[in-house]
Amino acid sequence: MITIGNPNGARVEITPDTATLFDNGNSEVVHTNYKSNERLKLAFIINSIPEDASNKTVESGLAYIVNNGILERAASASGKPFNTEGFIKIGGSSSGVRVYNIRIYNYSIGYSDAYNNYLYDSENKAVIANNNNILDAGGNISFDLCKNKLDTILISGDLSEILSGKTDKDGSTTDVTIERFCPFDSTKNFKINNIQIRKHGQSTLNYPITSMKFWLNKSKSGIIPTYESTQQSDLLLNKNRYVMKSADDHGKPSIPANKFVLQANYADSSGVHNGGL
C-alpha cells in the first residue's frame, strides 16, 4: 500500500484495487475502485475555495480522482481542511503495488492537465491521442469523428417536445429517423425512417437530457416505418425486429426486439443519478 500524507489525517491511500482521499479528520472524501494487476495513472486534485468570492468557479471546493486521464470521481470537499504535512510511505515487495513515478504540485491542476500527464507517461501516445480525437478545429465535439470510434446513435427530427421540460411522456411523442453506427460490428448498423419516439420513465423527466423510448414498428403519423439500410434483413420480416447486441459471454444471442430505451444517466457534484452497479 502507498500512503501519501499523515497516516492518521489528511492523506491519499492506494492499494492494489482502491484509491481514497482522506481529510484532516481522517474522514473519507472521495474513493474509487479498479481492477488489480493493471498499470494506472491516478491523479488526486483538491480545488480550493478562493477568499474572493468573485474568483469562485463551479470547480471550487471539489475533490477529483482522475484515472488514466478520465475524471472518474468527484465529491465536495468544501469546509474540509487538508494539512499537506506528512510523508510518502510505500509498502514492501509483498504489498502488490508497483510505483513508476509520482508528481506532486503545490497548486490544483485541471483534469485536462491530468490527462496530458497520462498521455505523456504512456508508451502508446499516438494510439491514445487518436482514440480521444473527437473535437473539430473549433473545439466542439464532432459527430463524424465520434461515430468512427464509439457505438453511436443519431436521431434526426423535431425533438423540441421531448427536450422541453413542459411536456409529459404522452405529450412528447413524435416521429424521427434513427441511425446506428457501430464501428466494431457493421451488422448492427441500421437506418430507419418514420419511427415513433417519446420521453420515457418518471425518474429522468427533469434531467438535462431525458430518457427516450422508440419503436421500430410504429409511428405517430401512422406511416409504416421503413428501413433504409441494415444487414439484418432476415429479421425484418417479423414486425421490424432487430438485434441490438451481440451474443453474451456464454454464446446466447440477444433476443430480437422492436422497442428500445435510450437511458439517461448523469453525474454532478451531488453524485450519480439514475445509475449504479
Q: How confident is the model at residue 246 (pLDDT cuts 50, 70, 90)?
A: low
pLDDT digits (tens, 9 = 90+) for 117-136: 998 888 888 888 888 888 88
Is a pLDDT exceeding 60 seen at residue 235? Answer: no
Q: How confident is the model at residue 276 (pLDDT cuts 50, 70, 90)?
A: very low
Say if CB 148 and CB 183 are below 8 A apart. yes
Say if CB 197 and CB 162 are below 8 A apart. yes
Residues 6+ positions from 208 with CB-CB distance below 8 Å:
266
Is a pLDDT exceeding 50 seen at residue 218? Answer: yes
pLDDT digits (tens, 9 = 90+) for 159-185: 998 888 788 888 899 999 999 898 888
Q: What is the dihedral of CA 189, 267, 64, 66, to 10 degrees?
A: -10
Helices then strands, counting H and E runs in the chain, come out as 4, 16
What is the full DSSP assignment across 196-215? EEEE--STTTTSSS--EEEE
Say if CB 13 and CB 23 are below 8 A apart. no
- Predicted local distance difference test score (pLDDT) of residue 19: 92
As a whole number, mean pLDDT of residues 65-91 equals: 85
Averaged pLDDT score across all residues of the chain: 83
As a whole number, mean pLDDT of residues 145-171 equals: 88
Could you give the C-alpha distances from 25 to 47, 150, 251, in angstroms and in order?
A: 18, 43, 51
The ranges assigned to domains in the chain are: 2-131, 143-273
